[in-house]
Amino acid sequence: MYNFTIELDQNSKKPLYTQIYEHIADEIRNGRLEENERVPSKKALSAHLGVSVNTVETAYEILAQEGYLRPVPRSGYYARRVIAPQLSSTPTVFEEKPTESFAADFRTAGADVSSFPYSTWIKLSKEVMYQNPELLNHGGFKGDIELRDSIAKYLREFRGVHCSASQIITGAGMEYLVMLLCGLSGSERVFAIENPGYGKIDLILKNSGRKVRYVPLDEKGISVKELERSGADTVYITPSHQFPSGTVMPIDRREELLRWADEKPERYIIEDDINCEFCFLKRPHTAVQGIYGSKKVIYLNTFSRVLAPSVRIAYMVLPPLLLRLFEKKFSRYASTVPRFEQRTLARFISENYLSRHLNRVKNIYRKRRDTLIEAALSSDYPIEISGEKAGLHLVLKSPRASEILKKAAENNIKLYSLDDYYFTPRENPSNAIVAGYAGTTPEDIALLRSRVLCGNA
DSSP state of 38: B
In terms of CB distance, is 237 or 383 closer to a copy of itself? 237
Kindly tell me the burial class for residue 373, based on how many C-beta atoms sit within 10 Å of its own C-beta (0-12, 13-18, 19 or more): middle
Residues 184-203 that bind a copy of itself (CB under 8 A): 186-187, 199-200, 203
CB 68 within 8 A of CB 30: no
DSSP state of 425: -
CB of 156 to a copy of itself, least distance (A): 8
How far is 5 from 49, CA to CA, in rounded Å? 7
Half-sphere exposure of 77 (CA within 13 A, CB side): 25
Residues 298-317 that bind a copy of itself (CB under 8 A): 304, 308-312
CB of 307 to a copy of itself, least distance (A): 8
In terms of CB distance, is 76 or 199 closer to a copy of itself? 199
Max Cα–Cα distance, the chain, nearest Å: 98
Considering the rule CB under 8 A, would residue 149 count as an interface residue with a copy of itself? no
Considering the rule CB under 8 A, would residue 74 count as an interface residue with a copy of itself? no
Residue in 13, 74, 100, 138 binding a copy of itself, rule: CB under 8 A: 138
The gap between the terminal CA atoms of the chain, to the nearest Å, is 89
Residue in 50, 209, 382, 425 binding a copy of itself, rule: CB under 8 A: 209
Stretch that binds a copy of itself, among 233-241, 266-274, 277-285, 350-358 (CB under 8 A): 277-285
CB of 151 to a copy of itself, least distance (A): 13
Residues 9-28 that bind a copy of itself (CB under 8 A): 18, 21
Kindly tell me the burial class for residue 14, based on how many C-beta atoms sit within 10 Å of its own C-beta (0-12, 13-18, 19 or more): exposed
Stretch that binds a copy of itself, among 44-52, 131-139, 379-387, 396-404 (CB under 8 A): 131-139
Q: How many residues bind a copy of itself (CB under 8 A)?
A: 99
Residue in 34, 66, 127, 266 binding a copy of itself, rule: CB under 8 A: 66
Considering the rule CB under 8 A, would residue 83 count as an interface residue with a copy of itself? yes
How many CB atoms sit inside 10 A of residue 440's CB? 22
Residues 395-454 that bind a copy of itself (CB under 8 A): none
Residues 319-378 that bind a copy of itself (CB under 8 A): 320, 323, 329-341
Buried b (16+ CB within 10 A) or exposed e, 156-176: eeebebbbebebbbbbbbbbb
CB of 23 to a copy of itself, least distance (A): 14
Provide the pairing of β-strand 413-414 with 168-171. unpaired
Considering the rule CB under 8 A, would residue 280 count as an interface residue with a copy of itself? no
DSSP state of 457: -
Residue in 166, 350, 411, 412 binding a copy of itself, rule: CB under 8 A: 166
Classify residue 246 as left (phi > 0), alpha (psi -120 to 50) or beta.
Answer: left
In terms of CB distance, is 111 or 452 closer to a copy of itself? 111
Which residue stretches of 195-319 are H helix?
Answer: 199-207, 224-230, 251-263, 288-292
Residue in 285, 305, 347, 368 binding a copy of itself, rule: CB under 8 A: 285
In terms of CB distance, is 182 or 349 closer to a copy of itself? 182
